[in-house]
Amino acid sequence: MSDIQSRPELPDHLSIDAKSPFYNAAIFEFDIGIRFNGKERKDVEEYCISESWIKVPAGKALDRKGNPLLMKLKGKVEAFYR
């Protein structure tokens, strides 16, 4: 029970890219889940709950720096701890 209380609150906007201003290392010490339009997604790179969107890789395409190209999907977003 003390583990649940020690978890930081999930932010409105979060990214897994360490170069992003929305990255928070303390959050990633725990297992996070994202539910998009009622289905759990495991490929989410970034999300924003207030603006109702997620960013996911667009296939196997890469940009010139070797990062996956991201596609923005709009819908109902829910973030939770597993």
Q: What is the pLDDT of residues 2-55, one digit of tens each?
A: 555 688 899 999 999 999 999 999 999 999 999 999 999 999 999 999 999 999
Query: Contact at 8 Å (CB) between 57 and 21?
Result: no
Predicted pLDDT at 82: 87
Cα dihedral value 7, 10, 16, 22, nearest 10 = -120
Domains held by the chain: number = 1
Q: What is the pLDDT of residue 73?
A: 96
Identify the domain containing residue 28 by its residue range.
2-81
Containing 59, the helix (H) or strand (E) segment is: strand 53-62
Kindly write down the DSSP assignment for every residue of 22-43, as one continuous string.
T--TTGGGS-EEEEETTEEES-
